[in-house]
Amino acid sequence: MKLNLLPTYVSKEKQGRFAVVGSFLLAAAGFALMFLMAKTTREAVQVQQDRINAAKPDADRSVQTSKQADDVMDQARGLILNMNLAEAMNSHSTVYADLYDDVRKYIPGFFRISAMNAVPNGAESATVTMTGYLSTFQEYADLMVALLKIPGATAVSRSGFQLNDPIVPNLIPPDQTGRATKPGEPRIPDNPMDRLDLQIAQAQVTGFQGAGGFGTTVTPMVRGAMPTQSTVTVAVVINGKNLQTPDPRATLAGAASLWGGAPATPTPGAPTTPPATNTKAATPPPANNAPAPAPKGPNRKNPAAGQEDES
């Protein structure tokens, strides 16, 4: 059996020495790692700084080029506005022609057109007004049905037809048959002799009338209504058609902001200050009511001395 007769504090002193040595070694290793990391960090920062310094001239040139581009755009703003307006007006020049071409496909053949025009009702609606000639009331009714087939047509209004179709009048003692007559014509009697007298009274010789411009060589060769036709006006409201012209106010406003705006208009009745034409400062009056010095010259009196100046 082995006995440890050494005191307990002897072993603890050895352990304390080992701990102190170990802590110093750990501290040295920590400082070494710290310096190594600091060196690595400085090298990485220097590499990035070198990249920044190498890229800085290109970045400065890019900024300068961007400023030059902004200056060019500012100078060309008015031209761009005018060009955009001109392009919009150019594209708008075919809007009416395209609308007329679309409407023309749905105009029936019995409706002879003499005039057509369109006006915008807003940004998405237009009214097409047509003037032409019709012969019968049936055509007058069929025309509305035909025009309602136009894509986007929402309403059709018409006016001007003069009803001239023969009608059967009420029976009267001289006319027990009810022969059809046109409005404004006299009744046709049943008695053959009375009918003969009526026809003799209505008989007349007429020359060339040139009704509606037909049979003439007058230019322009515009043909109006025939004797049996009526002049009819039809208006069609069509949705989905924008006929409004481009607004030039945007161009004018842009030009005004670009070149400093329009000159200010003076308020009525307010005095206007004329521009100064003499920039020479005025001589202030002498202080203390002192007499002003007289100009020098021969035979000039000095008002202060009451003597003549002989200089």
This prediction's pTM: 0.50
CA distances for 300 relative to 87, 175, 258, 286, angstroms: 79, 129, 62, 20
Neighbours of 163 (CB within 10 A): 11
Bridge-partner residues for 308, per DSSP?
Answer: 301
Neighbours of 161 (CB within 10 A): 19
Say if residue 122's pLDDT is above 50: yes
User: Across all residues in the chain, what is the average pLDDT?
Assistant: 76
pLDDT-based confidence at 12, cuts 50/70/90?
low
How much is the pLDDT for 164? 74
Domain that holds residue 42: 15-75
Q: Where are the beta strands (DSSP E) in the chain?
A: 112-120, 125-134, 153-159, 230-239, 300-302, 307-309
Residue 33 CA to residue 27 CA, distance in Å, equals 10
Residue 28 lies in a domain: yes
Q: How many folded domains does the chain comprise? A: 1
Residue 20 lies in a domain: yes
How much is the pLDDT for 179? 80
* Rg, C-alpha atoms of the chain: 54
Digit-coded pLDDT (tens) for 156-183: 999 988 877 777 888 888 877 878 877 7
Residue 58 lies in a domain: yes
Say if residue 252's pLDDT is above 60: yes
Phi (first) and psi of residue 127, to 5 degrees: -120, 125
The amino acid sitting at 155 is A
Residue 213 CA to residue 209 CA, distance in Å, equals 9
Neighbours of 143 (CB within 10 A): 22
Digit-coded pLDDT (tens) for 15-57: 667 777 778 888 888 888 888 888 888 888 988 888 888 888 8
Bridge-partner residues for 117, per DSSP?
Answer: 129
CA distances for 270 relative to 266, 274, 277, angstroms: 7, 13, 21
How much is the pLDDT for 303? 41
Classify burial at 75, counting beta carbons within 10 Å of its beta carbon; exposed 0-12, middle 13-18, buried 19 or more.
Answer: exposed
Name the residue with higher pLDDT: 148 or 19: 148
Say if residue 117's pLDDT is above 60: yes
Residue 114 lies in a domain: no
Residue 172 lies in a domain: no
Residue 71 lies in a domain: yes
Residue 65 lies in a domain: yes
Residue 288 lies in a domain: no
Tell me if residue 130 falls in helix, strand or coil. strand
